[in-house]
Amino acid sequence: MSRLFRAVIMGPPGSGKGTISERIARGFGLQHLSSGDFLRENIASNTEAGVLAKTYIEKGLLVPDHVMTRLLLPRLEEMTCHSWLLDGFPRTLAQAEALNSSCELDLVISLNIPLETLKERLSHRWIHQASGRVYNMCFNPPRVQGVDDITGEPLIQQDDDKPEALVARLRHYKDVAKPVIDVYKAKGILHTFSDTDTDRIWPYISSLLSAKIPTDIADAQRASTH
Ligand SMILES: Nc1ncnc2c1ncn2[C@@H]1O[C@H](COP(=O)(O)OP(=O)(O)OP(=O)(O)O)[C@@H](O)[C@H]1O
Ligand SMILES: Nc1nc2c(ncn2[C@@H]2O[C@H](COP(=O)(O)O)[C@@H](O)[C@H]2O)c(=O)[nH]1
Q: Which residues does ligand 2 sit against, CB inside 6 Å?
A: 14-19, 121, 125, 134, 136, 138-140, 197-199
Residue 44 domain flag: yes
Residue 198: what pLDDT?
96
Best mutation site among 198, 200, 201 for ligand 2, i.e. most ligand atoms within 8 A of its Cβ? 198
Domain that includes residue 15, residue range: 6-225
Number of domains in the chain: 1
Q: How far apart are CA 82 and CA 220, in angstroms?
A: 9
Strands 125-128 and 107-111: unpaired
Task: Give the residue whose CA is nearest to atom 25 of ligand 1.
Answer: 13
Tell me the pTM.
0.92
Distance 150 CA to ligand 2 centre (A): 19
Residue 185: what pLDDT?
98
Count of other CB atoms within 10 angstroms of residue 163: 12
Residue 107 domain flag: yes
Residue 225: what pLDDT?
62
Report percent pLDDT > 90 for the chain: 77
Note whether 111 and 117 are within 8 A (CB). Answer: no
Residue 200: what pLDDT?
97
Q: How far apart are CA 19 and CA 142, in angstroms?
A: 14
Task: Give the residue whose CA is nearest to atom 23 of ligand 1.
Answer: 13
Note whether 65 and 203 are within 8 A (CB). Answer: no
Q: Tell me, what's the ipTM?
A: 0.94
64's enclosing H/E stretch is none
Instruction: State the chain's mean pLDDT as an integer.
Output: 92
Residue 164: what pLDDT?
80
CATH number, domain containing residue 120: 3.40.50.300
Residue 129: what pLDDT?
86
Ligand 1 contact via 39 beta carbon (within 6 Å): yes
Residue 55 domain flag: yes
| Span 93-108, pLDDT tens digits | 999 999 999 999 999 9
Residue 136 domain flag: yes
Residue 1 domain flag: no
Note whether 44 and 130 are within 8 A (CB). Answer: yes
Task: Identify the sign of the CA torsion 95, 208, 173, 78.
Answer: negative
Residue 151 domain flag: yes
Residue 215 domain flag: yes
- Closest to 92 measured CA to CA, from 181, 6, 15: 181
Tell me: pLDDT of 113 over 60. yes
Bridge partners of residue 133, in order along the sequence? 128
| Span 117-167, pLDDT tens digits | 999 999 999 999 888 899 999 999 999 999 999 999 999 998 878 878 888
Atom of ligand 2 nearest to the CA of 125: 19
| Span 25-54, pLDDT tens digits | 999 999 999 999 899 899 999 999 999 999
Tell me: pLDDT of 1 over 80. no
Mean pLDDT over 162-175 rounds to 86
Q: How confident is the model at residue 85 (pLDDT cuts 50, 70, 90)?
A: very high
Distance 198 CA to ligand 2 centre (A): 7
Task: Give the residue whose CA is nearest to atom 15 of ligand 1.
Answer: 36
Q: Does the annotation place 151 within a ligand binding site?
A: no
